Chains A and B, each alone.
Chain A
Amino acid sequence: MSIKVGIDFGTSNSGVAVYDGQHVKLLPVDPKNVLPEVIKTVLYITRDYRASIGQEAVENYYRDNVNRQRRFVKHWTGEIDVYGADMHYVQDVFVYVDELQPGRLLQYLKTALRKERYAGTQIFERYFTVGDLARTYLSLLKQRAEDILGEPIQAVTLGRPVKFSESQEQDHKAQETLRQAAHAAGFREVDFEFEPVAAALDYEQSISQPQNVVIFDFGGGTLDIAVMRLGDPRRREVYASGGVDIAGSDFDRTIIEKRMLAHFGLGRVKLHPEIMEMIHAVPDWMALPYLGTPINKNILDKAIQAGIAPIQVKALRGLIYNDLAFTFYNRVEAGKIALSSDGATIISLEDKDIALWELYTRHQFETDIQTYLVDVEKVLLDTIARSGLEPGEIDAIVKTGGSSNIPLFSEMLARIFGAGKVKKSNAFTSVVAGLAIKAKM
């Protein structure tokens, strides 16, 4: 008999779990990670199309890429027809390709699912659609889970946010892409459960009486809220659900925009639109890899020689051309996480050509993300209102997802519902545990 598992395919982290009817077993799918039950949602694909995931992918990426040599060659990619008033001619189009690039590291795969304009990416000679990327990741994750369980996995309950997208069409498209990817990865049977509902199922194991519960699932990619009646499996009910595209990756981006760009020349480089464009692309993890062209390098080299904010521009060049972007985003994220427990932290990056140091306090962070707080509170109160319940009728708030640990949001929940009602679940594993329970139902 084949096993059915629950998989939380998260924006930043993923996980696999099975439920035997009494206990949930979280599978240690990433033995190299600090928490082996949590695996980073990153995928590394080499030039010869060998793929790796999780910490292994990160290690492979670091080993192959950081401070490596580059060699750009001009590749013909096609031609364009140019029409003028009384003329028409065809022009060849070339791109510069780094022929020494050993592999591509891809992260935020789930965010890519809900981006309307992001259909896929070229990885060396092949084009990978978003579905291909998800399929590659899921098949490797499935393989790891099968190796642990020692038997094939044929069925899966996948978690999904309440809304992949505000657009219903895009929401449906994202779920179907994920379903096809799961089938292509080898799962014969695929069903979905909302991530906050899954977290609720996990929480339900710990209560003895029926309760009105708000699940506040605030992860790397989205905020998902569900207002539910839990405690009696025969009368389990979702009163209302809601969500918004605000989460950890947006906070990282905000920190970079507000605090880090000065280290790369913002405010000091003026009248150089090409460099300004590169600086403004730094927070965009999807755009940064494409900046590494010989033309841009030439522009940056000339600026350094001309003494235009040379330290900052050198740091920008190092970030782009020494493949330090992944390290940089990780440092920013680590700084943000540290502020959940500390009042101040350091975001630093010291490498070739870069010596970045920023003391960042919780007060600064909270100021920077204040606008998000307003939006989150609005969505939360809207969802509660749609459930027909008053905040006073809510018995418990279950927080899950990494961003739910940010004190600003914990304080908001405590202010609205009362501190005693805010329950903390395991931020990274409660969803996958609930998905495993759902898979058994």
Chain B
Amino acid sequence: MSSFSHKIDEWMKEAEARPESAVTIVKLIARRLRELTERNEELLTENIALQNGTRVEEYQKRIAHLEYQLDLLKRRFGADESMLAELPVSPAEAATLSLLVYNNYGRILRLEVPADALSLGRILDEKLASSEQPRLLVVPSNEEVLMLFNSGRVSTHAVGNIPTVECGGTWPWEQAALPDEPRAGEMLVCVAPLSHLPLSELFLQVSRRGCVKKTMTSLAQSILGNRYLGKSTLQKLDQPFDVILCQKKDSFAFVTFEGHLLGLDVDALPYSAEERIKLTASDYVIASFVPHPEQSMLFVTQTGKVIQRDNLEIAKSAMSRGQVLIPPGRLEQGVRFIGAAAVRDGDRLAVLDATGSLTVHLAQALTGSGSIEAGSLILSIGVLPAEANS
């Protein structure tokens, strides 16, 4: 205290020696006083939050979310806590693969895929070809999935909790599980694997009309807590299409019904929804993925034609038409794309055709022959990764 009094005496001496300095000193002290008052208010607010328990609640929520993430990691690595302490562990100890076939109504058929299966069974649905096509997702059976609805709502479910159907059988949709029934006016738009959440930096969303938006995974606590991720759309008639977990340094690709491929640099993408591709009125996004350097990209048409590309060209402008995958003449003949994926050598493709049959094809064989042999028009594809089968 005495040293502070001494300081004040020194300031007074300056004011006595040069009266014009008094104004400067008062201004500087007043500014400091204002800063300290603001800081004091912040601390008092913090104090109130601590006293009434809101801060405690907030930390409890944060801890619960961290525990949830840890649980995801444990399941992902198939490890207990003692093993986690010795990270890095090798990923996914040969978990069985589950193929999820899901439709807009929230119905999910889960099949555990045998390593050597070529035919998986058949969905009984007369309107399969004419209604919104079901989508396929292959995940390890110990995975956690995020379900995104067209309202922007999300929910999470453990794959292991979804009942399985018998491989090789025939299944009506009524047999399918309904882990989270869409609310009135809602539709399920995608199911995405979630266990990489603690290791990922961003959620990346794309809409049917090519709007993209990224969200930091550091917000996952509030997203999952509030069960709301958002729609990533700009126009009223647009619908969310997909959500992917990725890193800032990744590239992101999406493909449209009329065969346009757009590559984007994730780091350059916006945090608010932004349209990144010029689409014709009848065009829409049918697939999106994050390609890795060792992967090649496969694009599949309704008739089973397979196009392979190894390199993804990143769009330079903010609004692009994307790369064209087929000549305009083929487009006029009615060729349309139904799926695309990034695959490694040895990966297999699960294919759903218009008769409801689910078949499995080796990706290498498809790129060799250039087409998928299917009994009917192809509706949807999913990738069975090779590494999980080994």
Find the B residue at minimum CB distance from A361: B14
Are A361 and B3 touching (Cβ within 8 A)? no
Are B3 and A343 touching (Cβ within 8 A)? no
Most chain A CB within a 10 A radius of its CB, from B3, B14, B32: B14
Are A362 and B21 touching (Cβ within 8 A)? yes
Question: Taking the nearest CB of chain A, how far is it from the CB of B311, in angstroms?
Answer: 31
* A362 to B10 CA separation, bound complex (whole angstroms): 10
Are B24 and A343 touching (Cβ within 8 A)? yes
Interface residue from A262, A343, A363 paired with B10 (Cβ < 8 Å):
A363
Question: Taking the nearest CB of chain B, how far is it from the CB of A331, in angstroms?
Answer: 15
* A267 to B3 CA separation, bound complex (whole angstroms): 10
* A363 to B24 CA separation, bound complex (whole angstroms): 13
Find the B residue at minimum CB distance from A363: B14
- Is B20 close to A, CB under 8 A? yes
Are A344 and B32 touching (Cβ within 8 A)? no
Are B25 and A359 touching (Cβ within 8 A)? yes
Interface string of A332-369 (1 = CB under 8 A from B): 00000000001111100000000001010111100100
User: Which residues of the other chain, B, contact A343 by a CB distance below 8 angstroms?
Assistant: 14, 18, 20-21, 24-25
User: Which residues of the other chain, B, contact A357 by a CB distance below 8 angstroms?
Assistant: 32
User: Which residues of the other chain, B, contact A367 by a CB distance below 8 angstroms?
Assistant: 10
Interface string of A262-286 (1 = CB under 8 A from B): 1000010000000000000000000
Find the B residue at minimum CB distance from A262: B3
User: Given that A361-B11, A362-B14, A364-B14 are known contacts, is A346 also in contact with B21, CB under 8 Å in the complex?
Assistant: no
Find the A residue at minimum CB distance from B27: A344
Are B21 and A361 touching (Cβ within 8 A)? yes
Are A344 and B3 touching (Cβ within 8 A)? no
Interface string of A69-95 (1 = CB under 8 A from B): 000000000000000000000000000
User: Which residues of the other chain, B, contact A345 by a CB distance below 8 angstroms?
Assistant: 28
* A343 to B23 CA separation, bound complex (whole angstroms): 9
- Is B63 close to A, CB under 8 A? no
User: Which residues of the other chain, B, contact A359 by a CB distance below 8 angstroms?
Assistant: 7, 11, 25, 28-29, 32
Are A346 and B28 touching (Cβ within 8 A)? yes
User: Which residues of the other chain, B, contact A342 by a CB distance below 8 angstroms?
Assistant: 21, 24
Contact size class for A? 10 to 19
Are A362 and B18 touching (Cβ within 8 A)? yes
- Is B309 close to A, CB under 8 A? no
* A44 to B302 CA separation, bound complex (whole angstroms): 60
Question: Taking the nearest CB of chain A, how far is it from the CB of B106, in angstroms?
Answer: 46
User: Which residues of the other chain, B, contact A267 by a CB distance below 8 angstroms?
Assistant: 3
Interface of chain A, helix or strand or loop or mixed?
mixed
User: Given that A344-B11, A344-B24 are known contacts, is A363 also in contact with B17, CB under 8 Å in the complex?
Assistant: yes
User: Which residues of the other chain, B, contact A362 by a CB distance below 8 angstroms?
Assistant: 14, 17-18, 21
Interface residue from B10, B20, B24 paired with A364 (Cβ < 8 Å):
B10
Interface residue from B20, B25, B32 paired with A361 (Cβ < 8 Å):
B25
User: Which residues of the other chain, B, contact A344 by a CB distance below 8 angstroms?
Assistant: 11, 14, 21, 24-25, 28
* A364 to B8 CA separation, bound complex (whole angstroms): 11
Interface of chain B, helix or strand or loop or mixed?
helix
- Is B55 close to A, CB under 8 A? no
- Is B13 close to A, CB under 8 A? yes
User: Which residues of the other chain, A, contact B7 by a CB distance below 8 angstroms?
Assistant: 359
Find the B residue at minimum CB distance from A362: B14
* A345 to B29 CA separation, bound complex (whole angstroms): 10
User: Which residues of the other chain, B, contact A363 by a CB distance below 8 angstroms?
Assistant: 10, 13-14, 17-18
* A70 to B129 CA separation, bound complex (whole angstroms): 60
Question: Taking the nearest CB of chain A, how far is it from the CB of B250, in angstroms?
Answer: 24
* A367 to B14 CA separation, bound complex (whole angstroms): 11
Find the A residue at minimum CB distance from B36: A357
Find the B residue at minimum CB distance from A267: B3
Cβ < 8 Å to B, chain A residues 351-398 = 357, 359, 361-364, 367
Question: Taking the nearest CB of chain A, how far is it from the CB of B339, in angstroms?
Answer: 43
Question: Taking the nearest CB of chain A, how far is it from the CB of B309, in angstroms?
Answer: 37
Find the B residue at minimum CB distance from A343: B21
* A111 to B218 CA separation, bound complex (whole angstroms): 48
* A344 to B21 CA separation, bound complex (whole angstroms): 6
User: Which residues of the other chain, A, contact B21 by a CB distance below 8 angstroms?
Assistant: 342-344, 361-362
Question: Taking the nearest CB of chain A, how far is it from the CB of B221, in angstroms?
Answer: 24
User: Which residues of the other chain, A, contact B3 by a CB distance below 8 angstroms?
Assistant: 262, 267
Find the A residue at minimum CB distance from B29: A359
* A362 to B28 CA separation, bound complex (whole angstroms): 14
Question: Taking the nearest CB of chain B, how far is it from the CB of A16, in angstroms?
Answer: 37
Find the B residue at minimum CB distance from A359: B28
* A343 to B3 CA separation, bound complex (whole angstroms): 21
Most chain B CB within a 10 A radius of its CB, from A342, A346, A363: A363
User: Which residues of the other chain, A, contact B25 by a CB distance below 8 angstroms?
Assistant: 343-344, 359, 361
Question: Taking the nearest CB of chain A, how far is it from the CB of B30, in angstroms?
Answer: 11
Most chain B CB within a 10 A radius of its CB, from A344, A364, A367: A344
* A367 to B17 CA separation, bound complex (whole angstroms): 13
* A342 to B28 CA separation, bound complex (whole angstroms): 12
Find the B residue at minimum CB distance from A358: B7
User: Which residues of the other chain, B, contact A361 by a CB distance below 8 angstroms?
Assistant: 10-11, 13-14, 21, 25
Question: Taking the nearest CB of chain B, how far is it from the CB of A335, in angstroms?
Answer: 12
* A363 to B10 CA separation, bound complex (whole angstroms): 7
Question: Taking the nearest CB of chain A, how far is it from the CB of B151, in angstroms?
Answer: 41
Find the A residue at minimum CB distance from B23: A343
Question: Taking the nearest CB of chain B, how far is it from the CB of A440, in angstroms?
Answer: 45
Cβ < 8 Å to B, chain A residues 154-170 = none
* A357 to B25 CA separation, bound complex (whole angstroms): 14
* A362 to B18 CA separation, bound complex (whole angstroms): 9
* A362 to B16 CA separation, bound complex (whole angstroms): 12
Question: Taking the nearest CB of chain A, how far is it from the CB of B21, in angstroms?
Answer: 2
Cβ < 8 Å to A, chain B residues 14-72 = 14, 17-18, 20-21, 24-25, 28-29, 32
User: Which residues of the other chain, A, contact B14 by a CB distance below 8 angstroms?
Assistant: 343-344, 361-364
Cβ < 8 Å to A, chain B residues 250-289 = none
User: Which residues of the other chain, A, contact B17 by a CB distance below 8 angstroms?
Assistant: 362-363
* A357 to B7 CA separation, bound complex (whole angstroms): 13
* A60 to B29 CA separation, bound complex (whole angstroms): 35
Find the A residue at minimum CB distance from B21: A343
* A342 to B22 CA separation, bound complex (whole angstroms): 11
* A345 to B14 CA separation, bound complex (whole angstroms): 12
Find the B residue at minimum CB distance from A355: B39
User: Which residues of the other chain, A, contact B32 by a CB distance below 8 angstroms?
Assistant: 346, 357, 359
Nearest 10 pairs of A and B residues by beta carbon: A343-B21, A361-B14, A363-B14, A344-B24, A344-B25, A343-B18, A363-B13, A364-B10, A343-B24, A344-B21
A-side interface residues toward B, CB under 8 Å?
A: 262, 267, 342-346, 357, 359, 361-364, 367
Interchain residue pairs with CB less than 8 A apart (8): A344-B11, A344-B24, A344-B28, A357-B32, A359-B28, A359-B29, A359-B32, A367-B10
Additional 9 contacts, C-beta under 8 A, given A342-B21, A343-B21: A267-B3, A343-B14, A343-B18, A343-B20, A343-B24, A345-B28, A359-B7, A361-B21, A363-B10
